[in-house]
Chains A and B, each alone.
Chain A
C-alpha cells in the first residue's frame, strides 16, 4: 500500500492519517464544503473537495469518493466508522475499482448487518444468543413456548423495531397472552410489519464487547471493553477491561468472540458485542460490528498495540502481527467522549467555532480529536469533538487521572459535556464499577426529580 484515501472526517480521519504516515503511506483526505479548514484536510498529503455539507451528497457519496480515489492513483480506501464503513455495497464498489478496502469482505459486512443471519452464524459457532423464540412467533402457543425457554420477565419485541422502540416487558404467561395481540397490532401500525418475537429480559444488563482481529487465517482477541455507561443508547464512557468481570466469564466471552471470527474467516478489526447478565453470570451475543470502533483506543492503551496500523497492514496482505500469546494486558484504560452538547438543556447540540480549546496533558493522557482552536464544530455532523483517553496501572489510578484530566479541559465557543462527564466519574457506582446500561438515565432522572439536575454544574 502506497497511497490511502480516507473516506471520513473528524477525529477518526486524523487517527487514520497518523497511522498511515507512520507506515510511510501517503494520504488523501476527502472533505465537504463545510470542512475546508478541517484538521484532517491539513494533515493529509492531498485533499479533494467532494460536495456540499449534507453527508448524503459528500461523505456518503460512494461514486464521488471512488472516482476521486481512482483519479488520484490511490490503492486503498479506509472507511473509518459510521458513514460508509458498514455498507457492503461500498466495499463491493471499492473492490470492483481494483482498490483495497480496509475492512472485512463485503460478504462479512452483509452477514453481520442482517440480524437474523448474524444470530444464526453466532449459534453455529457455538456463541450463546439471548434465549427466546427462533425468529418471529406465530400465535400464542408459540409465544408461550418461547417464553418458557426465555423465562420471565420476557420481552415482546417488534421484528421491525429498533433503537428501543416496539418493546414490551411481560412478567408472566397471563401478561404475555394479553400483550401478544396488542404488540402485533402496534407493530403493524408503527412499522408496517406485525411480526414479533419473544426473548429473555435481562434487568440491569451490561454491555461488554470483545475486540477481535483476523487476517482470514488466524484470529485473536484483544480483550474486552465495558460500554454500559450509555445515554439514549449512545456510549458515554468506555473502559478496558470490564470492572468486576469474573475471569472465567472473560475467558469464555473472548473465546466465543474468536470462535465467531474464525467461523466467518474474518479479516480485519471487528467487535463482538455481548449483553452480560451479572446475576446469572451469562452472556449473549448481540451483534458484531465490522469496523474500527470509536472506543478502540482503550484497547490500544492496555495492550500497547496500534489497531489502525494493523488494519492497514492486514489490508496490504500482511499476516497478523501477533499471536494470541503475544498480546499482553497491562493496567486499565478509560475513554470519555467530549461532545459539543449542552447537558443543561437536554443535550441540545451546540455547534460553533472553538474560540479556544485547551486539552489536558501529562503522563498517560491521550487526546484524539479532529479539531483545534479556531476550528468550527459544524451543525452537519456528529457532536463528538474530542476523545479523552487515560491509562493507569490500576482502575483507581485511571479514574483519578481521568478526573484530573477532565478538570484541565477548557473550551470556549461551544458548550461541552466535560463537567457532566466529570460528575459521572465521581459517582460511587462508577467508582465501584457497579453500573449497567440503564444506570445513567436512571441517575439523570433521579437527579432531575431531586432538583439537583444531572446536567447542572453544581
Chain B
C-alpha cells in the first residue's frame, strides 16, 4: 500500500464534476481504477479528462471545484490497492 498523488497535467481550471449540475467524479473513499476519470481540466476553453493513473481508494481531494491549477499541481491522493 502506498499513496500516489494525482497531478493536473495542464494549467487551467480544475473541475471535480463533469458538469455543474452533476455529482462529482469521485469523493473521499471512492474506489477507482487506473483509467477512471477523476476530474476535468479546462485550458483555453478546451476540456481534458484527468485519469486516476493508479487503482486504489481516494484518500484526499486537495483542491476545490473550479480551482486554478498549474501543470503538475497535486489535485488528489489515492492509496493504491496492491
Contacts and interface: CB of A to CB of B under 8 A. Distances in A.
Contacts of A54: 13, 66, 68
Contacts, number: 33
A53 B44 contact: no
Interface in A39-82: 52-54, 56
Interface in A340-386: 340-341, 349, 351, 379-383
Contacts of B68: 52-54, 380
B6 to A, nearest CB: 19
A191 B1 CA distance: 41
Interface string B29-68: 0000000000000011110000000000000000000101
Nearest to B45: A382
B12 A379 contact: yes
B74 interface: no
A349 B13 contact: no
A54 B43 CA distance: 11
B20 to A, nearest CB: 9
Interface string B9-37: 01111000000000000000000000000
Contacts of B11: 351, 379
Contact of A340 (B10, B13, B44): B44
Given A379-B10, A379-B12, A380-B12, A349 B43 contact: yes
Nearest to B69: A379
Contacts of A383: 44-45
A340 B11 CA distance: 14
Contacts of B13: 53-54, 379-380
Interface residues of B, number: 10
A455 to B, nearest CB: 16
Contacts of A349: 10, 43-44, 46
A123 B32 CA distance: 53
A351 B66 contact: no
B66 A381 contact: no
A63 to B, nearest CB: 18
Interface centre among B10, B44, B68 (most CB of A within 10 A): B44
Contact of B44 (A52, A56, A379): A379
B44 A382 contact: yes
Contacts of A382: 44-45
A29 B32 CA distance: 46
Contacts of B46: 349
Contacts of B10: 349, 379
Nearest to B70: A379
A351 B45 contact: no
A204 B20 CA distance: 37
Nearest to A82: B45
A383 B10 CA distance: 14
Nearest to B11: A379
Nearest to A383: B44
A379 B43 contact: yes
B59 to A, nearest CB: 27
Contacts of B66: 54, 56
Contacts of B43: 349, 351, 379
Nearest to A339: B44
A270 B12 CA distance: 33
Contacts of B12: 351, 379-380
A349 B12 CA distance: 10
Interface string A381-418: 11100000000000000000000000000000000000
28 contacts: A52-B68, A53-B13, A53-B68, A54-B13, A54-B66, A54-B68, A56-B66, A340-B44, A349-B10, A349-B43, A349-B44, A349-B46, A351-B11, A351-B12, A351-B43, A379-B11, A379-B12, A379-B13, A379-B44, A380-B12, A380-B13, A380-B44, A380-B68, A381-B44, A381-B45, A382-B45, A383-B44, A383-B45
Sorted nearest first, the 4 A-B pairs with minimum C-beta distance are A349-B44, A379-B12, A383-B44, A379-B11
Interface of B: 10-13, 43-46, 66, 68
Given A54-B13, A351-B12, 10 more contacts: A54-B68, A56-B66, A351-B11, A351-B43, A379-B44, A380-B13, A380-B44, A380-B68, A382-B45, A383-B44
